[in-house]
Structure formats: C-alpha cells, structure tokens
Amino acid sequence: MSSLRLRIPLAAASLVAAALALAALLDGAESLLIAGLVLGAVAGLLGVLASRSLLRPLASVKQAAAAIAAGDFGARVWPRPAGEAGELADAFNRMADAVQEQMTDASAQRGRLEAALNSSIDAVVALDGDLRVLYANVAAERLFQRPAAEVAGKPFVWYMPNEQVLDAVRASRDRGERHVNVIERPGRQYLQAVTTPIVGGGDWAVLVVFHDLTDVRRTELVRRDFVANVSHELRTPLAGLKSVIETLAAGAIEEPKLAHEFLDRADDEVDRLIQLVEELLELSRIESGEVPLVVAPADVAALLSDVAEHLRPQAERKGVSLSLRVGEDVGSADLDARRLERALSNLVHNAIKFTPEGGAVTVSAERAGDRLVVKVSDTGIGVAAEDLPRIFERFYKVDHSRASGGSGIGLAVVKHTVEAHGGSVKAESELGRGSTFSFSLPVARP
Ligand code: ADP
C-alpha cells in the first residue's frame, strides 16, 4: 500500500480512536477506553511507517538534486523506490537526463568557441561594465604575460595601462563606439587595438582585440631605410657629376687636357650610377621572382675560368695574383649561368678590391656529395667579427671601406642569387689576414 493512500484511513482511524477514547473518558466505559487506546496506537504506528516510506525516497531525490547542483550531472535517484515515490524518481531522473544532455551540448559548444578563440593569433579580451577582465584568450595571456585565471576579475588597466586604449574602451562602453588605435609598447612592439561594444553579451560589455603589427612596422622601416640608402648612394655619384660639370663650365672645358681629365671622372661617376642601378634592379628582380632563373646544365670549370679571365686584368693592375683550383670531379651543375657568373664576379671583384698589392686571390670549386661548393679566398684586409653576420645585408658596408666606392649591394645580390638556386652563402674572415666567401648549391635541380 502506498504511503499516500495510507494517510486517509490512518487519519480517519486516529480520529475514531481519539473519539472513542474521549467517549470512554466521559462515560467511564473501560472497554471503550482500551479499544480506543489500541486503535490510536495502531494508527500512530502505521503513520510513522507511512511517513518513513515516503521520506526515504524524498531524501534520495534531495541527495541527487544536491549532487547535480554541485556539478555531478550523472547523479540519479537509485534504486528506484516502489509506488508513487518511484514515479517521482522516474520524473526526476528524466529531468536529470535532459539537463545532462543540455549541459553536454553547451559545454561542447563552449569548448569549440574557446578553441577557436585560443587558436587566434590576435589577443582577445572581454571586459565587464567596470572594465574588469572577464575573459582572456591564450594570445592575451601571452600579451599580458599572465595566466587567464590570474587576470580574470582584475582591472584591465593593470595589464594595459595605455590611455589611448583605455579612452577607447570607455567610449565603447559608454557610447557604444568602435575604435581602432595603434600603440607602441616597450621593446618596439606595435599593436593595433580594436575596441567594440558587446551587445547582448550579458556582463560582457566591451571586446578588445589586439593585433600585432610589429612585423608590418619593421617591413615599413626596412622599406624606408631602403629608400634612404638608395637616395644616399645615388647622391654621391650625382654630386661628383655635378661638380665635374661645374668645373668644366667654369673654364676647364677650354683646356683640352683638363677637360679630358674631368670627362674621365664624369665617366667613372656614370659607371658607378649604372652599376648601382643594375645591382638594384637585379636584386629586386631576384627578390620578386619576376624574372625566374634560367636553369640549364653548365660546365662549372668553364664558368669559373670565364669569371677569372674577365677579372684577371683588374688583379694584375693591382698586383694581386689570381689563381683557379677546380676539382676534377666537379663536372656540370644545373644553374642559371649568367646570374651565377655575375654573383661569382662580385665575390672575386671584392676579393681583389680588398686585397692589397702582393696579396693573393684563389677561386676554387669542388663537389661535396650532391652539392657544388665554390670558394673565393683572399689574403686581404679581412672583416671584423662584429661586421661578419651583417655582411650580406643590402647596403651594409664595413666602416673602413666606405670610401671604397661600393654600394654595399653586391653581397646581397650574391646571397639572393645563391638562395634562388636552393643554396646558401657563408663568410669567414679574420681582420688583417683575409677572407673566404663561399657558397654551396645542389648540383641537380629537383
Ligand atoms: P660593395 O659594393 O661595397 O663592395 P658588397 O655588398 O659587395 O658591397 O660588400 C659589402 C662590404 O663587405 C664591403 O663594403 C666591404 O666592407 C665588405 N667586404 C666584401 N668583400 C670583402 C672582402 N673580400 N674582404 C674584406 N671586406 C669585404
């Protein structure tokens, strides 16, 4: 019998027992009193039993509800109580199933959103109306150099004490405005900060997204430097030309010997200009990949010999010996002969230029497995250790050789040419003793 169904007869029985007991007291009938007391005792006992059988299942429902509230969504009323309490348990368990399913869906969705936000390279931060951090993704943790758990609930100003960004954040919160600012942080880090009001985001009031612009800025700086360097390099020969023209105009043109001298100087300056412009063009062609390499099997020994013979007069004029050492197994290699010849000429030309009279320049080639290694060694002035790592940068010139008339582009062209062939360049040097510039590239194109 279910406890609910027991209640009505039990209540009636208790009333009857109480009435009988009262009647007995009133008319003194002893038998009636005993019957009333017995009936009352039985009713009381049944009442206790009934309330126990209802309370126990209720307690287990309460327990399961508390466990679910504490986050244990798998908690259920079990074992199933009998009777009506069992129906209550079934209903509770069905509700718990639905809650568990919704919680699983919600947490999967949250996980996906979080994964998406965390895979963003941009730092994403959500703030509440008091401008406290409510959410910070992994990139924001990196930006603030703090774990998200530590940042959560703290004032945003602690981590981004930048007036520009703070003003923007306030404007987004108070006036619903969207702002984009570029700010500079310590260590020459440039950030673009986009602040947006969050509509319908509960306690999320403002979203701030930081995009790192440091690389873009660096590229801009490199470009600006490049223009400044080119202008500087152009100015020197142009100034030379101008002074020649002025001197000629001032009367030197009337004296044939002097006029010739000045015209020769003008010719040199024009050569410098042509060389500079050609090197710049070559560099930009290689860098942009606009004019692809024309690769074909080339006889390495012949290529080296062509370069050496072309530059031999220059070495002789300077009293520098120029020798060639080509390994027997060098054979041929797949390369753009015209471009590689130009790169090698650059190296040999430098070696002669930076080697004093009586010195020696050696050009060598050998096979190292499936690579061709070409070296240009000299016994010249050498390059200081601190300059060596930057020697292949465009426009880089070692201080003492600034007067040598070079533009600092030659080695950059060599590096780009060799790299376009899938190879790499190397510079070894000792100040005052000489240098070895070398490159290695695959013999066969893949
Ligand atoms: P440049 O046109 O000035 O020669 P490069 O790019 O060819 O430009 O060379 C850059 C700088 O590297 C030179 O100005 C010079 O200081 C240094 N350098 C290059 N080759 C040598 C070398 N063989 N010995 C000493 N210094 C060299």
pLDDT of residue 6: 47
Is residue 74 located within the same domain as residue 177?
A: no
Please give the single-letter amino acid code of residue 280.
Answer: L
Decide whether any atom of ligand 1 lies within 6 Å of the 410 Cβ.
Answer: yes
Distances (CA, A) of 180 to 191, 302, 344, 368, 396: 10, 60, 50, 55, 37
The total of structural domains in the chain comes to: 4
Beta bridge partners of 429: 435
Is residue 156 located within the same domain as residue 30?
A: no
Token readout for 445 is 């194109």
Decide whether any atom of ligand 1 lies within 6 Å of the 383 Cβ.
Answer: yes
Asked whether residue 344 is domain-assigned, the answer is yes
Residues contacting residue 325 through CB under 8 Å, at least 6 positions apart: 362, 363, 364, 365
pLDDT of residue 51: 63
Decide whether any atom of ligand 1 lies within 6 Å of the 438 Cβ.
Answer: no
Query: Which residue's CA lies nearest to atom 7 of ligand 1?
Result: 410
User: For residue 96, what are the domain limits?
Assistant: 2-105
pLDDT of residue 41: 62
Token readout for 71 is 């986050």
* Tens digits of residue pLDDT in 232-291: 888 888 999 999 999 999 998 999 999 999 999 999 889 889 988 988 888 888 878 777
Decide whether any atom of ligand 1 lies within 6 Å of the 351 Cβ.
Answer: yes
Is residue 37 located within the same domain as residue 136?
A: no
Output the CA 302–ligand 1 centroid distance in Å: 25
Residue carrying the six token digits 């074909």: 296
Mean pLDDT of the chain: 87
Which of 283, 411, 435, 436 for mutating ligand 1's site (highest number of atoms within 8 Å of CB)? 411
Asked whether residue 27 is domain-assigned, the answer is yes
Asked whether residue 372 is domain-assigned, the answer is yes
Domain closes at, from 250, 266, 287: 287
Is residue 192 located within the same domain as residue 230?
A: no
* Tens digits of residue pLDDT in 24-52: 554 555 655 565 565 566 556 656 665 66
Decide whether any atom of ligand 1 lies within 6 Å of the 406 Cβ.
Answer: yes
Query: Which residue's CA lies nearest to atom 13 of ligand 1?
Result: 397
Of the CA atoms within 13 Å of residue 2, those in its CB half-sphere come to 11
Decide whether any atom of ligand 1 lies within 6 Å of the 397 Cβ.
Answer: yes
Distance (Å, rounded) from C-alpha 84 to C-alpha 90? 10
Q: Which of 392, 402, 405, 410 is nearest to 278 (CA)?
A: 410
Per-residue pLDDT of the chain (446 residues; tens, 9 = 90+): 444 454 545 555 554 555 445 555 545 556 555 655 655 665 566 566 656 666 777 888 888 889 988 888 889 988 888 887 888 889 999 999 999 999 999 989 999 998 999 999 999 999 999 999 999 999 999 999 999 999 999 999 999 999 999 999 999 999 999 999 999 988 888 999 999 999 999 999 999 999 999 999 888 887 888 888 888 888 888 999 999 999 999 998 999 999 999 999 999 889 889 988 988 888 888 878 777 889 999 999 999 999 999 999 999 999 999 999 998 889 999 999 999 999 999 999 999 999 999 999 999 999 999 999 999 999 999 999 999 998 998 888 887 554 566 778 899 999 999 999 999 999 999 999 999 999 999 999 76
Asked whether residue 111 is domain-assigned, the answer is no
Asked whether residue 177 is domain-assigned, the answer is yes
Q: Is the pTM value of this prediction over 0.85?
A: no
Is residue 276 located within the same domain as residue 395?
A: no
Is residue 328 located within the same domain as residue 416?
A: yes
pLDDT of residue 312: 96
Asked whether residue 115 is domain-assigned, the answer is no
Is residue 302 located within the same domain as residue 418?
A: yes
Domain closes at, from 194, 212, 230: 212
Asked whether residue 317 is domain-assigned, the answer is yes
Which of 401, 428, 436 for mutating ligand 1's site (highest number of atoms within 8 Å of CB)? 401
300-318 helix and 337-353 helix, angle to the nearest 10 degrees: 30
Which of 362, 397, 414, 417 for mutating ligand 1's site (highest number of atoms within 8 Å of CB)? 397
Task: Give the atom of ligand 1 at the shortest distance from the alpha carbon of 279.
Answer: 2
Residues contacting residue 307 through CB under 8 Å, at least 6 positions apart: 341, 344, 345, 348, 363
Is residue 201 located within the same domain as residue 253?
A: no
Is residue 332 located within the same domain as residue 438?
A: yes
Asked whether residue 113 is domain-assigned, the answer is no
Domain closes at, from 236, 262, 287: 287
CATH number at residue 172: 3.30.450.20
CATH number at residue 411: 3.30.565.10
Is residue 205 located within the same domain as residue 242?
A: no
Residues contacting residue 262 through CB under 8 Å, at least 6 positions apart: 244, 247, 248, 252
Is residue 208 located within the same domain as residue 225?
A: no
Query: Which residue's CA lies nearest to atom 10 of ligand 1?
Result: 408
Beta bridge partners of 192: 182, 211
CATH number at residue 240: 1.10.287.130
Is residue 176 located within the same domain as residue 239?
A: no
